């Protein structure tokens, strides 16, 4: 197992397309729900414990070696918003390209062949972690971190928020990130039906509205 591989995979500069997505932050900023450091922290905490938990568990299960096609169906069932399903598959397709170039393996090739339009991003992330020799807990940490780091970075651009403030939000979430990743990894060992299905209806509604905007800075 290589901890350096985890750093590469979690690095925001890994070319997986996440920089073009705000994780719902753009819609929350327009609605006035995110407007400063405190409201960003609340938004990120809520996202972490809902969609972040679900994504972390799916990633951990894929890293554990559970059937990625069955996991993709489970991800679909846990993503009620059509806009978010489309986003997850687009991000999965982009991550797949980067993963196959960085850590090529037969499992990634097989999933890409089975789902040429893209598998859900957390499933691809978990399989990528497995290909890189990482553990299910590592995959869960990476997915959990992505669920809040993207929104924090987007807030800097959308609000001209001080980058130090955005980083402070992430640092203060670290204990929650650790506990959530451990919970997600444990759930993965119990099988697909035991994976969390935490939902965030407001994120789903906002995603549908955001997808219809004629002009937007972020893809989601």
Question: Is residue 177 in a domain?
Answer: yes
Domain range enclosing 126: 32-205
Place of tokens 């651009």: 157
CATH number at residue 188: 1.10.4190.10
| Predicted local confidence at residue 2, as pLDDT | 65
| Predicted local confidence at residue 3, as pLDDT | 77
Question: Is residue 5 in a domain?
Answer: no
Q: Enumerate long-range contacts of 127-130, CB under 8 Å, 24 or more apart.
A: 127/62, 127/63, 127/68, 127/99, 128/9, 128/95, 128/99, 128/103, 129/6, 129/9, 129/59, 129/62, 129/63, 130/62, 130/63, 130/64, 130/65
Count up the domains in the chain and report the number.
1
| Predicted local confidence at residue 204, as pLDDT | 94
pTM score over 0.75? yes
Question: Is residue 220 in a domain?
Answer: no
Place of tokens 């996991």: 71
Question: Is residue 142 in a domain?
Answer: yes
- Phi, psi dihedral angles at 31 (to 5 degrees): -80, -5
How confident is the chain (220 residues) per 10-residue block, as mean pLDDT?
82 84 95 97 97 97 98 97 96 96 96 96 97 96 96 95 97 97 97 93 94 92
């Amino acid at each position: 197992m290589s901890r350096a591989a985890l750093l590469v995979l979690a690095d925001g500069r890994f070319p997986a397309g996440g920089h073009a997505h705000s994780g719902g932050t753009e819609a929350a900023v327009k609605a006035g729900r995110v407007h400063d450091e405190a409201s960003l922290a609340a938004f990120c905490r809520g996202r972490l414990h809902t969609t972040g938990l679900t994504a972390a568990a799916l990633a951990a299960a894929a890293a554990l070696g559970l059937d990625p096609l069955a996991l993709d169906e489970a991800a679909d069932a846990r993503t009620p918003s059509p806009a978010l399903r489309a986003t997850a598959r687009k991000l999965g397709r982009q991550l797949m390209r980067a993963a196959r170039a960085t850590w090529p393996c037969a499992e990634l090739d097989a999933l890409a062949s089975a789902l040429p339009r893209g598998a859900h991003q957390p499933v691809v992330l978990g399989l990528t972690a497995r290909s890189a020799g990482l553990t299910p807990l590592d995959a869960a940490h990476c997915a959990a971190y992505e669920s809040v780091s993207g929104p924090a970075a987007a807030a800097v651009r959308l609000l001209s928020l001080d980058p130090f403030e955005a980083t402070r939000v992430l640092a203060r979430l670290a204990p929650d990130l650790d506990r959530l990743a451990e919970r997600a990894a444990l759930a993965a060992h119990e099988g697909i039906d035991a994976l969390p299905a935490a939902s965030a209806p407001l994120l789903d509604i906002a995603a549908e509205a955001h997808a219809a905007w004629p002009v937007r800075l972020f893809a989601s």
